[in-house]
Amino acid sequence: MNKQTTLKPGEARSVGPSVQQIIERDGDNPPAWFRQSSYEYLGDEVLTVDRYITREYHDLEMERMWSRVWQMACREEEIPEVGDHIVYDIGHWSFIVVRDAPDSIKAFKNACLHRGTQLRDEGGSVPRFRCPFHGWTWNLDGSLQEVPCRWDFPHVADEAYALPQVKVGTWGGFVFINMDKDAAPLEEWLGELPRHFSTFPLENRYMTANVRRIMPCNWKVAQEAFIESYHVVEAHAQAMPATGDANTQYDLFGDRISRLYTPPGVASPHVADPLDEQGILDFMLGSRSLKNEGYKATLDAGQTARQKYAGVLRGDLERKYCADLSHLTITELLDNIEYFLFPNFFPWFNFSLPLIYRFRPNGDDPESSIMDVMLLHPVPDEGPRPEPAPLNVLRPDQPFTEAPELDQISFIFEQDVSNMPRVQKGMKMLEKGATLGNYQEIRLRHMHRLLDRYVATPPGETLRD
Judged by CB under 6 A, the number of residues near ligand FES is: 9
DSSP 8-state assignment for residue 421:
H
**Residue 117 interacting with ligand FES (CB under 6 A):** yes
As a 3-state breakdown, the chain gives helix, strand, coil percent values, each rounded to 5, of: 30, 25, 45
Q: Which stretch binds Fe ion (CB under 5 A): 119-127, 174-182, 237-245, 410-418?
A: 410-418
Closer CB to ligand FES, residue 136 or residue 439? 136
Residues 69-108 that bind ligand FES (CB under 6 A): none
**What, of ligand FES, Fe ion, none, does residue 370 touch, CB below 5 to 8 Å by kind?**
none
- Told to check if 411 binds Fe ion by CB under 5 A, we report no
Nearest to 183 by CA among 344, 97, 70: 70
Binding span for ligand FES by CB under 6 A among 111-119, 226-234, 419-427, 445-453: 111-119
CB neighbours of residue 401 within 10 Å = 13
Which CB atom, from 89 or from 416, has the smaller least distance to Fe ion?
Answer: 416
**Greatest alpha-carbon span in the chain:** 88
In terms of DSSP bridges, do strands 205-215 and 392-393 run parallel, antiparallel, or are they unpaired? parallel
Rounded distance, CA 328 to CA 67, Å? 39
Residue type, 308: K
Residue count, binding to Fe ion (CB under 5 A): 1
102 backbone dihedrals φ, ψ, rounded to 5°: -50, -35
Backbone phi, then psi, for 369, in 5-degree steps?
-150, 165
Q: Does 128 bind ligand FES (CB under 6 A)?
A: no
Task: Provide, rounded to whole angstroms, the least separation between the CB of residue 316 and ligand FES.
Answer: 54
Task: Name residues contacting ligand FES, limited to 133-152 (CB under 6 A).
Answer: 133-136
Stretch that binds Fe ion, among 150-158, 322-330, 416-424, 432-440 (CB under 5 A): 416-424
277 neighbors 353 (Cβ within 8 angstroms): no
Tell me how far, at minimum, the Cβ of 399 lies from Fe ion, in Å.
Answer: 15
Q: Is 416 in the site for Fe ion (CB under 5 A)?
A: yes
The smaller minimum CB distance to ligand FES, of residues 114 and 212, is found at 114
x/- site string to Fe ion, residues 362 to 401, per CB under 5 A?
A: ----------------------------------------
Can residue 115 be called a binding residue for ligand FES (CB under 6 A)?
yes
Among 131, 193, 313, 376, binds ligand FES (CB under 6 A): 131
Q: How far apart are CA 182 and CA 70, in angstroms?
A: 12
Of the candidates 264, 218, 272, the one whose C-alpha atom is nearest the C-alpha of residue 244 is 264
Residues 91 and 66: beta-carbon distance below 8 Å: yes
Give the C-alpha distances (Å, rounded to integers) separating 302 from 25, 33, 216, 436, 464: 11, 27, 49, 40, 54
Residue 134: contacted member of ligand FES, Fe ion, none (CB under 5 to 8 Å, by partner type): ligand FES
Q: Is 203 among the residues that bind Fe ion (CB under 5 A)?
A: no
Rg (CA), the chain: 24
Q: In the complex, which residues of this chain contact Fe ion (CB under 5 A)?
A: 416
Q: In the complex, which residues of this chain contact ligand FES (CB under 6 A)?
A: 112, 114-115, 117, 131, 133-136
